[in-house]
Each structure stands twice: as structure tokens, then as C-alpha cells.
Structure 1
Amino acid sequence: MSESDRIDAAIRTAEDLAKGHLPDPADPRLLRDALGRFATGVALVTACDVDDGSPIAIVVNSFASVSLDPPLVLWSAARSSMRHRHFTSAPAFAIHILAEGQRDLTSRFSRSGPGFEGLTLARNGEGVPVLPEALARFDCVTEALHEGGDHTIIIGRVTRFDLQREGGPLCFFGGGFGGFAPGS
């Protein structure tokens, strides 16, 4: 291959790399598929219903650490969720980091799942429902809310946390759940 051919090939490769898709609000599937290539953990967020104080929960993969000083975390709730107003009005909530063996909780807290029925449940110091056996739990008070497109970003100040058990995390990737083996 001549020097000229190598340069032409490098230019074509650079042009191919620069190509991409424009986000299409009318058809977000391709963007959603691309975002799904980022593996995340899975968390169950619990709070109290703002109307009657009953326990509510939502499964999220948007959990992230924000700051250690002060201790802040975030997660986001879809504004289309029927639970949105409860979580955005809640003064406190708990985030449970799910273990690989807790996949059943994701279907339990889907739109038509049985929810808390049959689960062991306690309340933390703020009265928020908490579940045993998560990898970790963060008890939070709501610090701030930020609108972010079709979601609300909820920032919580960690008031206490618990390392509840050892094990591998439940992960979400490409639209499905699975596990992760460190060092593999």
C-alpha cells in the first residue's frame, strides 16, 4: 500500500468515526439502544406515599454518587411515572443497591407487580420503608430537585448508610438484567 493509499484510508476511517445519528424525539429507540450499552447497577428506591403514608417503591438504574462532603447521591424519576409526584414530594427516601439474586424485586415493583406484599419490611428513623438484604442501603433526605427533560433529578443527602451483605450486584445492560463478576 502506497503512502497516498494509507493517507486516504486514514481519512476515510476518520470520516466514518465522525458519522453518527441525530437524536430523534419522534423515535427515541435508537438513542435508547445506544444508552443501553452503558452497564449500570440497579437500585430500589423506597419512600412513603404522600397521601396516606403507605410504602411505595420504584426500580431505577440512574443512581450515582454526587459528593462525599457533604454526602450527596442522585437518582432520576420519569415524569410519566405514576409514582413521580410521591417521590418528588417525599422529604425522605431510601436507596437499596440490589444484589444479583434480587432480580425478582424488579418485577415486583413494576406497574402491575405485587409490590411489598409478603416482604419483610421495617421503617428507618424518618419512617421510610426499608428492606433487608440489599448490598447497601442509603437513607436520605431530599436535598434538591432539578428538571431534566422528561425526568426529575432527585438529589439526596445521605443521613445514614448500611453495608447489608456481600455479593455481586444486579446489573442492567442492553435492556436486560444480569450479574457482574469482579476480576473476570
Structure 2
Amino acid sequence: MTPTATLQDSSSQTAEQRQAVSAQALAAADAKPTPSNLNVVDSRAFRQALGHFPTGVAIVTTRCPDGRAVGLTINSFTSLSLEPPLVMWSLVNHSPSLEIFEKCSHFAINVISQEQVPVALGFANSQVKDKFSLVSHVDGEEGVPLLDDCVATFVCENYRQHEGGDHTLFIGRVVRHTTLTEHEPAVFHRGRFANLTTPSGDR
């Protein structure tokens, strides 16, 4: 008898009462999740999972206003747009080079070859003081260092910057680029450098 009585009570609700109940249900559904009911992602496990995605490796270079050359190793480089020609990379917010790249007018992304892995390791090592002594280089038209013998080099205008959690995203508008097809690119996978198992060749 109780379910029948409940059904009769519900059917006898006014339109205003039914609208009020619906509004309460929608409000509950739209409520923002609280930290207690969010899924917590373990940062170490997340980083290990990301490492299963193979990437290339590049050295980003620029110059300070005082003329000092600055460079660092990244594997966050990616293409973004063909029209206009845009590329993107990211830098952790506690990097001592962050402000330099935020204020520079141009930077170069030098995609390294397998033979240049020691150079990339040197640019990633904060203990190496004169990183540019590790590789021959020239200054481009915009004054940024361009590393020799890279598989590809992209000279970019510092086009946009965006906050991305604990990193800053740098979007570069490519003003010129070069490629060397006789070299195979370095590959980074699961926390270590690797080689391509099948040469890509000249396409």
C-alpha cells in the first residue's frame, strides 16, 4: 500500500512543485566536484605513463639582452598549426631560464640527431657551464644560436605564452626552417634515449 500511496502523492503535485524538484535535481547535477570526490592521479605514475609515448628531442636556444647564449634540452616540442606556421614547447615554471625565454623576441628549436645525444645531455646538465662549447653553431639573422648538423631547425618569433599548470607553454611562429635528411633523429622513450628501428629515409 505504501508505494501506491507514494505514487498517488507524486501525481497530485502541482506543476510548480514538480518544477521545484526538477530545479533541485539539476542544481545537484551541476554542482562542482569537491576535492574529496575527485580522482587523484599519482604524479609519478602519470609521468611514467607519459614516458611510453616516444618523442623527438630538441635544444631550444636564444640570447639574453646582454648577448649571452642560452639553451636547454626539451622533448615537449610539437607542431601546432600550418596556417600560420606555429610550433609549441613547454618549460617548467621553476626553470632559471623561464624569464629569459618569456622576454626574448625569438628562439630556435634545434631537433637533434642520434649522433648529438651527448650534446643534448650536456644542455640538460646544470653543472655544465659553457654548454655551447659542446657543439659548433652560428648566429641566425635574428641573433639566436643555430646548432650545426641538426636534423631540423626552426627559427621562431616568440608568438604567444600560456600558463599550463606547473609549466609555461611557448608558441613560436616559424619564420624559417632547415632540414638535414641524412641524419636520423634522436628518440626519447621511457626515460632514456633510443634509436629508430627502421630508418625513415628521405620522403
Q: TM-score range by the shorter chain?
A: 0.7 to 0.9
Aligned-partner Cα distance in 2 for 1:167–1:123:
22
Structure 2 residue 93 is the aligned partner of structure 1 residue 87: no
How do 1:23-38 and structure 2 match up within 5 A?
A: 23-24=41-42, 28-38=43-53
Aligned-partner Cα distance in 2 for 1:42–1:72:
18
Q: What does the per-residue CA deviation read over 1:120-159, in whole Å, with 9 as the maximum and x for residues that have no partner?
A: 2211010001111000100000110000001110000000
Contact 1:137 1:164 in 2 (8 A): no
5+ residue gaps, structure 1: 1-20
5+ residue gaps, structure 2: 1-38
Q: What TM-score comes out, normalization by structure 2 length?
A: 0.74
Q: What does the per-residue CA deviation read over 1:145-177, in whole Å, with 9 as the maximum and x for residues that have no partner?
A: 000001110000000000134222111111111
User: Which 4+ runs in 1 deviate beyond 6 A?
Assistant: none
Q: What TM-score comes out, normalization by structure 1 length?
A: 0.82
Contact 1:45 1:95 in 2 (8 A): yes
Aligned-partner Cα distance in 1 for 2:177–2:197:
24
* Paired position in structure 1 for 2:16: none
1:103 counterpart SS class: helix
Q: Tell me by how many angstroms 1:119 deviates.
A: 3.0
**Amino acid of the structure 1 residue aligned with 2:164:** G
Match of 2:67 among 46, 53, 66: 53
Contact 1:39 1:173 in 2 (8 A): yes
Aligned length: 160
Q: Which has the higher helix share?
A: 2
* Paired position in structure 2 for 1:65: 79
Q: Tell me by how many angstroms 1:118 deviates.
A: 5.0
* Paired position in structure 1 for 2:135: 119
Aligned-partner Cα distance in 1 for 2:135–2:151:
17
**Amino acid of the structure 2 residue aligned with 1:135:** V
1:66 counterpart SS class: strand
Q: What does the per-residue CA deviation read over 1:8-62, in whole Å, with 9 as the maximum and x for residues that have no partner?
A: xxxxxxxxxxxxx8413xxx21111111111100001000124x22111010000
Structure 2 residue 110 is the aligned partner of structure 1 residue 100: no
Contact 1:132 1:164 in 2 (8 A): no
Q: Between Structure 1 and Structure 2, whose CA radius of gyration is higher?
A: 2
Q: Which moved more, 1:159-168 or 1:137-146?
A: 159-168
* Paired position in structure 2 for 1:39: 54
Contact 1:134 1:165 in 2 (8 A): no
**Amino acid of the structure 2 residue aligned with 1:161:** H
Contact 1:146 1:153 in 2 (8 A): yes
Q: Which moved more, 1:174-183 or 1:133-142?
A: 174-183
